[in-house]
Chains A and B, each alone.
Chain A
Amino acid sequence: MMNAPLKQSPIAPAAALPGALDIRNLSKDYLIDGLPLPVLENINLHVQAGEFVSIVGASGCGKSSLLRLIVGLEAQYKGDILLDGERIDATSLERGIVFQDHRLFPWKTVSENIAMALSNLPLDKADKARRVTEHIQLVNLQGFENAYPHQLSGGMAQRAAIARALITQPKILLLDEPFGALDALTRVRLQHELQRLWIQQRSTMIMVTHDVEEALYLGDRVIVMDARPGRIKHQVTVDLPHPRNRSHPRLHALKDELLAELVSH
């Protein structure tokens, strides 16, 4: 079930979804004991609609802060973050996020958790139920609709979290180390599934990760960030078509390049 081959999506691929992200001169400070501590400094990044961008970097390079700003959980920043030309200053159903810890509500079943995302969309009950069923199929969780999160494995919980983030058909999906807490085998499987979902949905995706191989396997582009303060240090374009072969020599060459970049100062 976990290794289900690419199959026809029950949902029509959202063709030509907008979702171009433009980050200009972004800086962000946190106040520590009244003193500003810079976490992000002068970030400039353009992400095309439908592009998959991976961000790697050492702990403390502000990559998670960057995602929190894009999703709108933090509104105070200098510079501009524009999604299709509109400045981001709050959360919106146009932007979905998957956290490292699945953050499902433990008191709700898988279906209820996924359905929560539809709470304020103008859909009737039957439509919502149909969408939930489709998305449970999309992430291969059939049979677990009525399970509570504590009854799921880490990988299954993360699939449910991905379904919850995708069900609103966001223009852009943000992934904050989504597979960081999973075992190696589950991680490989979910990377494969995420690739399949991305090919089907073609929404813009930005994934933060520690794992260089994961970043290269999934990303059209990999951004390397440096810490204190967080800034973009390097980027590589992965010019291989999807779905990719993990053992492609080009990926290995790029991995060496990125690792060298990550350890250098």
Chain B
Amino acid sequence: MNAFVRRSRGLVLPILLIAAWEYTSRQGAAQAYAFVPLSSIAQGFSQLLASGELLTSIVASLQRTCSGLLIGALAGIVVGAAMSVSTLVERALSPLYHTLRQVPILGLIPLIALWFGSGEGAKVLIVSLAAFFPMVLNAREGFSHVDKRHLEVATVLELTSWQRLIHVQLPAAMPAIITGLLHALAFAWVSSVGSELFLSSGNGLGNMMMNAETGSRMDVVVIGVLCIGLLGYGMNLLFSRLGQYLLRWRGSR
């Protein structure tokens, strides 16, 4: 019972919020348009489920986030590792990286659309970039703080550079990489939906919301917001668990 109470504490605030929402929606027609009644949201939800539109949109958004995250995070790890290992790479890339990093990804969308069109490729590129920047920062941090004493052991054991990378440097950098991955995930998800709002072709939760807005379907907009929030929360949870598993060697800290 105690555990149940502790687990449900996080639900108190959302439930209060929903109650306030429902109360406001009943204060008149104008309020009912701005704060769609729960019953309409439920109705809209079952319609979207039945038509398959919700599922298609979710799958499209998730797919794009995953491919973008994969490309961006891998590239980020490689570039971050290269920057930490080689001063030449660090000096060559650092100014460019730190300049581009200042620009919000969504601010690059007009240029990317101009160069690469508004199709799926452009969107994946946007998501990849969003994941790339935080990953580089963390990977570089991780790779440049490998314990010198462990590197000496690698030397004494006559490990090749490849073995040293795989068995010593990469695992030593893993805590920072996991942190970077969690940041990258958040940026990737936001920019995936963001790119759909800006580039209106194709499928996705962002497109679903844009279409709903033009059709004055505020219930669908609310459902979109909820889906984005909950899915993002779920993915974050999943990746945190994955991180905990990968870092199980650290013990309970």
Contact = CB atoms under 8 A, between A and B. Distances in A.
Interface stretch (A2-10, A16-24, A93-101, A135-143): A93-101
Contact of B167 (A91, A92, A97, A108): A108
B160 interface: yes
Interface string A107-118: 110000000110
B171 interface: yes
A245 interface: no
Contacts of A71: 156
A108 B158 contact: no
B102 to A, nearest CB: 35
A108 B249 contact: yes
Nearest to B153: A103
Given A119-B159, A120-B160, A150-B251, A105 B149 contact: no
A148 B152 CA distance: 20
Interface in A24-83: 71-73
Contacts of A105: 150, 153, 167-168, 171
A103 B168 CA distance: 12
A107 B153 contact: no
A107 B249 contact: yes
Contact of B249 (A91, A148, A164): A148
Contacts of B174: 107
Contacts of B249: 106-108, 148-150
A97 B156 contact: yes
13 contacts: A73-B152, A73-B156, A93-B157, A103-B153, A105-B150, A106-B250, A107-B172, A108-B167, A108-B249, A116-B159, A119-B158, A148-B248, A148-B251
A148 B248 CA distance: 9
A179 B59 CA distance: 58
A151 interface: yes
Contacts of A119: 157-159, 163, 167
B155 interface: yes
B150 A103 contact: yes
Given A99-B149, A106-B249, 11 more contacts: A71-B156, A91-B158, A96-B156, A97-B156, A101-B149, A107-B249, A108-B167, A108-B249, A116-B167, A119-B159, A119-B163
Chief secondary structure at chain B's binding surface: helix
Shortest 3 CB-CB distances between A and B: which pairs? A107-B171, A150-B251, A107-B249
Contacts of A108: 167, 171, 249
Contacts of B163: 119-120
Interface of B: 149-150, 152-153, 155-160, 163, 167-168, 171-172, 174, 248-251
B158 A103 contact: no
A143 to B, nearest CB: 18
A26 to B, nearest CB: 20
A119 B153 CA distance: 13
A257 B122 CA distance: 80
Contact of A73 (B155, B159, B171, B251): B155
A19 to B, nearest CB: 17
Nearest to B168: A105
B156 A91 contact: yes
A148 B172 CA distance: 14
Nearest to A113: B153
A75 B159 CA distance: 18
Contacts of A117: 157
Contacts of B152: 73, 103
Nearest to A112: B167
Contacts of A116: 157, 159, 167
Nearest to A68: B152
Contact of A151 (B150, B157, B251): B251
Nearest to B172: A107
B39 to A, nearest CB: 53
Contacts of B153: 103, 105
B75 to A, nearest CB: 24
A117 B156 CA distance: 9
Contacts of B248: 148
A107 B155 CA distance: 18
A141 B63 CA distance: 47
Nearest to A99: B149
Contacts of B155: 73, 91
Nearest to A150: B251
B251 A120 contact: no
A107 B170 CA distance: 10
Nearest to A118: B157
B179 to A, nearest CB: 16
Contacts of B149: 99, 101, 103
Contacts of B158: 91-93, 119-120
